[in-house]
Each structure stands twice: as C-alpha cells, then as structure tokens.
Structure 1
Amino acid sequence: MTAEDSAKTYRFGIDAGSKTVKVVIVDEDGTVVNSIYRRHLSNIRETLVDILHNLTWRYGDLPGKATVTGSAGIALAEMLKLPFVQEVLATERAVRELYPDADAVIELGGEDAKVIYLSGNPEQRMNATCAGGTGGFIDSIAFMLGVRSSDMSRLAGGASRIYPIASRCAVFAQTDVRPLLNAGAKKSDIAASALEAVVRQTITGLACGRPIEGKVIFLGGPLQFIPDLVRRFQIGLGLKRGEGIRPRWAHIFTAHGAALYAGELPESKPTSLGQLEKCIRQADAPEDDLMRLEPLFATDEERETFKERHARVDFPRKRLFDCKGPLYLGIDAGSTTVKTAVIDDAGNLVYSCYTPVQGDALATATEELLDFDRSPPTSTARTKRPPGLHMPRRRDMVRTCCVRRSVLIQASWRRRRTPARQWSSCPTRRSCSTSADRT
C-alpha cells in the first residue's frame, strides 16, 4: 500500500447472509477496490474474522467507515457497534448507482428471494417464510444429485425434458426428486427441472401477476455461479437481448450497496480493517435468549442408567471370515441412504454397511453389494425382502448386479428366506439365470 493509498478514506460493506459472508471495499469514488465472498458454514463470526484478517494482511490497515447488512447482520452490527441497513435497500442503492436506467431487480440469496420494481410504481417484494426457489433450494437438489451447486448449470445443459418439481418448498421438492432418481431419470433432466422450478417460483410466487419487464438486473450468488439459471429467467420473462443483465460481480451487490451507505449515514464512525478485526475478536458472544427444552437427564446417574440399559440390547457380532453355513442379507433402501446387513443362522451380525445416496441409489446399492463380495466368506448368502422404498426398481438392480462367487444376492419380495440364484458364467459378468427364469 502506497502513501497515497494510506491517505484515502474507504468504505466497507459487510453482508452477513444466511449462507455466505461478503465484504466489499470501495474507494471515495464508489468504485469496488477489493471484495471477498465466502460460505460461513453457520460460523459467521469466525468467517468474518478470517476475511478481515486476510484483507488487512494483503492491503494493509485501510481506514474508512463500515455498514452491515444481510439477514444475519443485525446481531453482527450490534456486536461491532456499526449501523445496519436492510438488505433490500442496500441492493437497491447499488443498482441505482451502477444501473440508473434499470426497471427491475431479481435477487436470489441463500434462503430468500427478492423482486424490486424500480420504474413505474416502486415496490419491493421478498419471500422470507420459506427457502423455496432460493440458493438453499438449489443446494438441496444439488446434494441429492451428488454434485456441487455450481455444477448445476453444466449438468442442466444436457437436459432433454423437464419434470414438474414443487418450487415453494425444498422439502416437497425432495419428495418429487427422490422417485425420479429411483426410477432412473437423468441427472441432467432433474437439474434443469430444478432450475425451471426456481424461475417459476420467482415469477409466479413473488411477482404475483405484476409483469417483470424492461431492463432487469439479475443479482445474487445462484445467478452469479449458475449461468443457465439466468438464461432460463430471460426466456421465462421474454426478455430481449440487452434487457436481462447479470453484472460481473452480481454476488456482492448487496455488500456494495452497504458500503455506499457507509459514507452517507450520519451514525457511521471512522474505523479501519484492523480495528474491525480486533473488535469482533474481543466482542462478547451475543446473549442466547432462545427457549430450550428440558434436558433429557436431570442427573449423571440417570444418564449412566440409560447407557447401561441400552448396552444390554446389542446385536451379537461375529467375524465374516469365521462364518460357515448360510448367511442372510437385508437391504434397507431409503430415501437418502442405503443400509446393508448380513447375519448368520444364529442371528450374529457379520457384515454391515451404511452409505449416503449421492444422486444414484442403484449405484450405491451395487457398490455395497460388491463390497460385501470382496470379503472372504465361505458361506451361502440368502436374501430377505428389503424394507426400503420403490423396491421394484431396486429388485431389478440387485438381480442384474454381478457377484463373482457362486451366489447372486437378489432382493426378493417373498417373505421367506429363499436360496439365491446361481451365476451361469461369472468371469464374463453375464446376467444370472435359473430354471425358473428359463421357464
């Protein structure tokens, strides 16, 4: 940092959102000098300390004034004794500064979405009751598909059809997506369907019939890192070329607006990056006045009694290597995990596996079965009906799954334990066959 830079006065905008923390530094002319965007993983305080320390180390202890905004910014502003600006106002301030001819703004955050009408009758609309149609919604679907949220755009590019997915609630959306995955729907189709659901929720749920037209500015992390989402908004709104604009730094616009307010609010006091870092390190944790349930155990003796009682109820275990005779396999194919358990005739648990489903329940169950196959038992495996969901599809999957030994572990609908089918030619990994199949 030069002597000329030290003489300047900067403005700092801190946007503490539901999933990320953004810090923007602007100079006296309102130009963005530096910025950092980072997920806080529910640890806003430590994340902000790390960001401020990083900025101070790289650019020096810059002097200036600061303002806080964001859904998690009120408690942070009280901790730092800084002024707070509502996030819709901060977003509008930055847009009017950089795009004075804009007619509307669509901003998607981690757990909220906003539509701001700037021309005609100015109005701000925001969904603060549910995370449907927001970044959190996209994160949930991406997790189910086993990809990062930023990969949704690339994945959706290969879509060939759109499925109806609930957009008002992320939980309801998962109940729509899970059967699609179990039925073998392409991940690209599900990704595109989720992005279409976000567009539909914003246009119908927030606009509520009022047209979003003219020059529209797209802001927020999801719109910054998922270009295909912007394209779908442009198509859904019927925007012409040049009417739908996603700025280069769409993910930090709210923090930028807070920084602009820092030089205008009379309660803003001089500070510096180093002072902000020191202040938040030394600040006391905010008081927790939330109502809490009574503890499960009033005394240590009650807890120990509970542990002793539950310790008496445990599966007897045995090494798989020591097993002889028939084994019995159970598969619990659930909505988010696949569980496999193998017992012997005496009821001893000899093998178990618990794996999260990352977008492909069939592949997850197959890998668990292959993992069991790699172990060295000399026993014969038999099957029992799995208690999970959507069993016809999983039954077909297990029937065609290749196991190298003389046993095919097949998920069966029958209640009784039945002998597994024999492989006709395991080395060539052909499907199994029995006399029942041939007839």
Structure 2
Amino acid sequence: MGNVSAVDVGIDVGSTTTKICALDAKSNNLLHTSYERHGARQAESVRAALNSLARLFPRASIRLALTGSGAAPIADKLGVPFVQEVVANACAVQALYPRTRCAIELGGQDAKMIFFRANETTGALDVADMRMNGSCAGGTGAFIDEIASVLNLPIEQFDAAACRGRTVYDISGRCGVYAKTDIQPLLNQGASRDDLALSAFHAIAKQTLGGLAQGIDVRPPIIFEGGPLTFNPTLISVFKERLNLADDQVIVPDHPETMVARGAALSLSSMFADAPATIDPAAAAQTLVGFTSADDDHAPGKPFFETAAERKAFARRNQLPEEPHGPESAAAKAHMRNGRLRVWLGIDSGSTTTKLALVADDGQLIDSFYANNEGDPLEVARRALVRLRDRYAAAGITLDIAGVGTTGYGELLFNRALHADYHTV
C-alpha cells in the first residue's frame, strides 16, 4: 500500500461505530477497510483513523470525505467535504451494484431504505425515493444489543442462536422497552433463547419493511448493508423469507459494513472532484486533539439571566399555580358524592414514560401521574395505580373507575393486561 500515489478515503462516523474505506484514487480499487465501535468518542475515533492512514499510506496524497450522523462537525473542523449518508450510500450502490432496485441499510441506531430506478434516457441508476427512521432506535443494531442483554447472550453469539431458532413469536420491533416486555413472559413460560433471538430478527424485518417502505413496492434485487446485517447473516435470511426472495434477488456486497464509507470515498471523484479535500492525515489528527462534536468556534450567546437575582425575579413573575389536582383539590371535592369519586382512567404508555390521568364525567382533570418506564411499564403503572388508590383512601374517598382507555406504544399491551374498555392510536 505504500506504493500507491493517491488515495481517496471515506470515513463514516455513525451513532455507534466508525468505518473507514480507502480506495486507489486512479482505479477505485479497495485498499483498506476498518469497522470499530467508538464508545461515544466520535472525534477521537476519527483521530485514530487518521493516524492509521498516515502509517498505511506514508507517501500518498490523501483526499478525505466524511459521512454519517456524527461527521458534520468533524468535517467542518478538518475543512473537508461532508456528504449525507443516504447520498453516500447511493453513490456506492450506483457505482458497484447497478442492478439494485432497493437498498436496506441498518446501522447502530438508524435504519434506511433507498429505492432505485433505471433512468429511461441514460440507463443509469437513479434514486427514486428514500426512507429513514426517526429518533427511536427500534429495529436497529441497538435493538439487537438490547435483546441480547435480556436473553443474557453475548452479542457475538446472537446470530448463531437465531440460526438455531425454529419458532417465531410476535415481538414488538418498534421499541426495545416493549420488546423486553414481550420477551420476559415468554422466557418465564420456557421459550428458548434461540427462538426468541430468531423472533427478534423477524421483529426487526417487520419494523423495517412496515415502518419504512410504507406502501412502496420493495422490488428486487435488494442489497443488504450495514453492520447489523453484516454480522448477523440470519437477519438477511429473515428478510429474504419475509420478502419471498430468490437467491439471485439478494445482493450481499463485499464489506457491507463499510458501504456508506465507500460511497463517501467514491464521492471524491464525482461530486467533490473539484473541492478542497487533500489532507495531511497526521496533521489532521493533531487538529482533533481535545475536540468534541459539541465544540464550535462561535462566541457564547448571551445568558438568559445575568445574576441569581434576575433568575429569582423571573421565577416569581412566572410562578406556576399550586397543583390543582389530587384528593384535596377543589375538583375532587366538587365531583365527590357520598365519599365516592367517579372518574375515567386514561393510560398513555410511551416508549420511555408512562402517564396516567383521572378525569371526571365533565372532562375535568382530577389527578395525574408521569414517570419513567424503568424497563417495566406494566409494573410502573401498577405501582402508580395502587398509590393513587391509597392516597384517596387515606383522604376518605373511594375511587369508582367508570372506564379505562389506553394509548401509546403500549396501547395493546395495557389493553390486554387491564381489560381496558377502549384503546386508540
């Protein structure tokens, strides 16, 4: 590698890993790849990558482009191009696998589907549409980590366990909290860890296809990319099964874990051909010493309060009214009849928090509850309901629950558990 005169490098700084791809700038031949977890030290991982490049290509002219969710501030600091990760992915697919009609890429905390079509005039591969998940990591590599923890399986053994699985259980793929809630009773009932690992892969595939495709036809050939699909080939088999794909309709690229980094490297000879991107990797690494993604070169903004007295004055002017809810509130007293209080119970079971509301017949709020799920939303809600009952009992009030409604991520779970009268999205 020391004889190469010019190298194009793409670095993909993702939510959990940093990927490097180095290409011969003249031939685009692959020279080097790397895939490492960064442990939330993104800038430090890029600095290590640059030092590695300096050792690998000591006499080469190196051009660099960065991509990934954590790359933009680092690219700005180094003065090199930044390419959005979906664009980088498309660059790699268009150049290397032009038969592709759909790309499914799973990362540490994101999932993407890119839909391609052949240009009617040129025959080149064009991006027709793309979909990417939101801020929740359900259905991604982080989801696999969560389930491996619940099953007490080392992450390196998860795919082998799933490969041995034979029975598929219905597990939520939208949220790790609720997947755990689905899995724990199955474990208690004797379901095998192998079957549950396989079920988790089916949950991921179901979440990806249902949550991202959203009615768009998923046409083959389909390319599978990203770390979770690289290190869990059984997950590809699950996608293949659910999409009813033949062997020749599945594309597993060389080094699928670094495809987005490779796209960033390829962008240097196309969209950034004339952009300043040449670096001295050792000097660039030194630039990142002590740098974090939160750093910037701008002067700090004016604080909201110059002094503690200003803050106290603001708090006095904007003081919230005393809590009007609870057994001693005017609302409770107004609706109580002969020591009994008729209320309707609403439960919003979210991905991270559980919320309860007690509402009178006329819609007035009587009481409420809000807390973190603590990984066990049903138990959190049970304790909250017991405390509500006991608080009102201590005040000499009997709660009459006229009806129960559920909503949120755990809408159906709570509906079944509490035999609710109504559930809604």
State if a TM-score over 0.5 links the two structures: yes
Residue in 2 that maps onto 1:260: 266
Q: How many Å apart are 1:12 and its aligned residue? A: 1.0
Give the alignment partner of residue 166 of structure 2, picking from 160, 163, 166: 160
Q: Which runs of 5+ in 1 are unaligned?
A: 295-386, 389-439
Residue in 2 that maps onto 1:270: 278
Q: Which secondary structure state, in structure 2, belongs to the residue aligned with residue 281 of structure 1?
A: coil
Matches of 1:57 and 1:107 in 2, distance apart? 31
Matches of 1:174 and 1:255 in 2, distance apart? 33
Q: How many Å apart are 1:31 and its aligned residue? A: 1.6
Corresponding letter in the other structure for 2:10 = G
Q: How many Å apart are 1:129 and its aligned residue? A: 2.7
Corresponding letter in the other structure for 1:21 = T
Highest RCO, 1 vs 2 (Cα 8 Å, sep ≥ 6): 2
Matches of 1:38 and 1:105 in 2, distance apart? 23
- Residues 281-301 of structure 1: CA deviation (Å, up to 9, x unaligned): 2757614989x9x9xxxxxxx
Map 1:409-420 onto structure 2 (within 5 A): none
Residue in 2 that maps onto 1:11: 8
Give the alignment partner of residue 221 of structure 1, picking from 220, 227, 235: 227
Q: Which secondary structure state, in structure 2, belongs to the residue aligned with residue 132 of structure 1?
A: coil
Matches of 1:59 and 1:82 in 2, distance apart? 19
Q: Does 1:103 align with 2:101?
A: yes
Map 1:372-411 onto structure 2 (within 5 A): none
Q: Does 1:26 align with 2:35?
A: no
Matched-pair contact (CA < 8 Å) for 2:148–2:158? yes
Matched-pair contact (CA < 8 Å) for 2:9–2:23? yes
Matches of 2:130 and 2:83 in 1, distance apart? 15
Q: Does 1:42 align with 2:40?
A: yes
Aligned sequence identity (%): 35
Residues 62 and 178 (structure 1 numbering): CA distance in 2 closer, same or farther, change over 3 Å?
Answer: farther
With 181-190 and 262-271 compared, the bigger mean Cα shift is at: 262-271
Matched-pair contact (CA < 8 Å) for 1:79–1:286? no
CA RMSD of aligned residues (A): 2.9
Q: Which secondary structure state, in structure 2, belongs to the residue aligned with residue 242 of structure 1?
A: helix
Residue in 2 that maps onto 1:89: 87
Residues 10 and 37 (structure 1 numbering): CA distance in 2 closer, same or farther, change over 3 Å?
Answer: same
Q: Which secondary structure state, in structure 2, belongs to the residue aligned with residue 122 of structure 1?
A: strand
Q: Does 1:136 align with 2:133?
A: no
Corresponding letter in the other structure for 2:295 = P
With 171-180 and 103-112 compared, the bigger mean Cα shift is at: 171-180
Q: Which secondary structure state, in structure 2, belongs to the residue aligned with residue 231 of structure 1?
A: helix
Q: How many Å apart are 1:48 and its aligned residue? A: 2.0
Residue in 1 that maps onto 2:408: none
Q: Which secondary structure state, in structure 2, belongs to the residue aligned with residue 157 of structure 1?
A: helix
Matched-pair contact (CA < 8 Å) for 2:85–2:260? yes
Q: How many Å apart are 1:113 and its aligned residue? A: 0.6
Matches of 1:214 and 1:139 in 2, distance apart? 29
Matches of 2:86 and 2:177 in 1, distance apart? 26
Give the alignment partner of residue 170 of structure 1, picking from 170, 176, 180: 176
- Residues 3-49 of structure 1: CA deviation (Å, up to 9, x unaligned): x42xx211110100000001111112212111111000111122222
Q: How many Å apart are 1:135 and its aligned residue? A: 0.8
Residues 57 and 164 (structure 1 numbering): CA distance in 2 closer, same or farther, change over 3 Å?
Answer: same
Q: How many Å apart are 1:263 and its aligned residue? A: 2.8
Q: Does 1:247 align with 2:247?
A: no
- Residues 328-387 of structure 1: CA deviation (Å, up to 9, x unaligned): xxxxxxxxxxxxxxxxxxxxxxxxxxxxxxxxxxxxxxxxxxxxxxxxxxxxxxxxxxx9
Matched-pair contact (CA < 8 Å) for 1:61–1:274? no
Corresponding letter in the other structure for 1:16 = V
Residue in 2 that maps onto 1:56: 54
Q: How many Å apart are 1:61 and its aligned residue? A: 5.3
Give the alignment partner of residue 286 of structure 1, picking from 284, 295, 301: 295
Q: Which runs of 5+ in 2 are unaligned?
A: 119-126, 306-378, 381-425
Q: How many Å apart are 1:269 and its aligned residue? A: 2.7
Residues 203 and 30 (structure 1 numbering): CA distance in 2 closer, same or farther, change over 3 Å?
Answer: same
Matched-pair contact (CA < 8 Å) for 2:79–2:277? no
Corresponding letter in the other structure for 2:279 = T
Q: Which secondary structure state, in structure 1, belongs to the residue aligned with residue 219 of structure 2?
A: coil
Matches of 1:237 and 1:275 in 2, distance apart? 48
Q: How many residues align?
A: 297
Q: Compare CA radii of gyration and give the structure with the larger one.
A: 1
Residue in 2 that maps onto 1:377: none
Matches of 1:117 and 1:245 in 2, distance apart? 14
With 43-52 and 192-201 compared, the bigger mean Cα shift is at: 43-52
Matches of 1:212 and 1:152 in 2, distance apart? 27
Matched-pair contact (CA < 8 Å) for 1:62–1:272? no
Residue in 1 that maps onto 2:332: none
Matches of 1:161 and 1:169 in 2, distance apart? 21
Map 1:182-197 onto structure 2 (within 5 A): 182-197=188-203
Map 1:57-72 onto structure 2 (within 5 A): 57-60=55-58, 62-72=60-70
TM-score, L = length of structure 2: 0.65
Matches of 2:44 and 2:158 in 1, distance apart? 29
Q: How many Å apart are 1:272 and its aligned residue? A: 3.1
Matched-pair contact (CA < 8 Å) for 1:262–1:268? no
Matches of 2:72 and 2:146 in 1, distance apart? 27
Residues 132 and 283 (structure 1 numbering): CA distance in 2 closer, same or farther, change over 3 Å?
Answer: closer
Q: How many Å apart are 1:77 and its aligned residue? A: 1.2
- Residues 203-242 of structure 1: CA deviation (Å, up to 9, x unaligned): 1111112221221100000110001001111111111121
Matches of 1:149 and 1:169 in 2, distance apart? 18
Matches of 2:137 and 2:161 in 1, distance apart? 22
Matched-pair contact (CA < 8 Å) for 2:8–2:266? yes
Q: Does 1:237 align with 2:243?
A: yes
